[in-house]
Amino acid sequence: MNKGKSMKINLNNKEVSMAGESFSVRELLNLMHFTFPMIVVKINGRLVKKEDYERVFIGDGDNVEAIHLISGG
Amino acid sequence: MKSKLEKLKGTCIGIAGCGGLGSNCAMALARAGVGTLVIADFDTVTLENLNRQYYFLDQVGQKKVAALQENIRKVNPAIDVQIHDVRLGPDEVVNIFKNCRLIIEAFDRADMKLMIIETITERFPDKFIIAGSGLAGYGENNALRTRRLGNLFICGDETSEVSETLPPLAPRVGVVAALQANQALEIIMDDLEPSVGDDVWDE
């Protein structure tokens, strides 16, 4: 990520400003303190599979939905 | 209302897992009048299950799918209950639920929840999936809710994980199972349209 650049994303219906130009899904989840191991992540409505968290990137204006999947049923 | 009930009768719903969520959700859907239920689980009823799952003492030791089929038939023998005594992986999910309009995710383990969400979204982007997430313990009524992400609905509080100190108990498990069943009824009776382009990221 470049210093001085910033981006805004919509994360779970809230606008979030971040320093940087793009983040991988994995980086974003770490930054946003998603702590449980299983998470559903959708970017602009499309599901990102867990195996793709390192190679899919989030940029300015993206709509991100991330919800924990918690054991128990 | 009659035509809406007719819609239920003509609908096939898949239920992945027949534990606390699956058994209670299946019974709610059966009583509401869903015509076909496809239920899958590999497990056997144990004494410990009876604090929350829709089984009875004399069913301990039976396969869950067989016991649940029996219980549904006691309420309404006209419902077509198709049982699959199997451990579900991606291939089984595709084969078993391919004719269902929507699927109830009712697994225990979080990695299995993600597996079925990924599989259904990738292989059947037009099908709805209704998952449960966060239901352990007691109290906190108003933390239990439903969120929609395209064709995926997630019911629960999204935080309370089952553990030694926070067991799953009948009321909260039952509420989440009922939220899932209630969401299914809304999808069917109100003909909710699947989101377009709601598939898996593939660069």
Q: Which amino acid is at B70?
A: E
Residue of chain B whose alpha carbon sits nearest to that of A49: B118
Please return the burial class of B94, using the count of CB atoms within 10 Å of its CB with bins 0-12, 13-18 and 19+: middle
Cβ pair A73:B136 closer than 8 A: no
Q: Which residues of A touch B160 (CB under 8 A)?
A: 70, 72
Write out pLDDT tens, residues A16-66. Answer: 999 999 999 999 999 999 988 999 999 999 999 999 999 999 999 999 999
* A6-68 maps to CATH 3.10.20.30: yes
Of the candidates B19, B168, B199, the beta carbon closest to that of A46 is on B199
- Cα B74 from Cα B90, distance rounded (Å): 32
Is the CB of A45 less than 8 angstroms away from the CB of B121?
no
Q: What domains lie within chain B, and their CATH numbers? A: 12-189 (3.40.50.720)
Whether the CB-CB separation of B105 and B17 falls below 8 Å is answered with yes
The pLDDT of B49-55, averaged and rounded, is 98
Band of pLDDT at residue B12, cut at 50, 70 and 90: very high
CA angle (B28 as vertex; B23, B30 as ends), nearest 5: 95
Return the pLDDT at B203.
Answer: 61
- Any chain B CB within 8 A of the CB of A4? no
Q: Which chain A residues in 10-69 lie under 8 Å from chain B, judged by CB atoms?
A: 36-40, 42-43, 45-50, 52, 55-56, 65, 67-69
Per the DSSP assignment, residues forming a β-bridge with A11 are A14, A64
* Consecutive H or E run containing A66: strand A63-68
Query: What is the rounded distance in angstroms from the CA atom of residue B25 to the CA atom of residue B37?
Result: 11
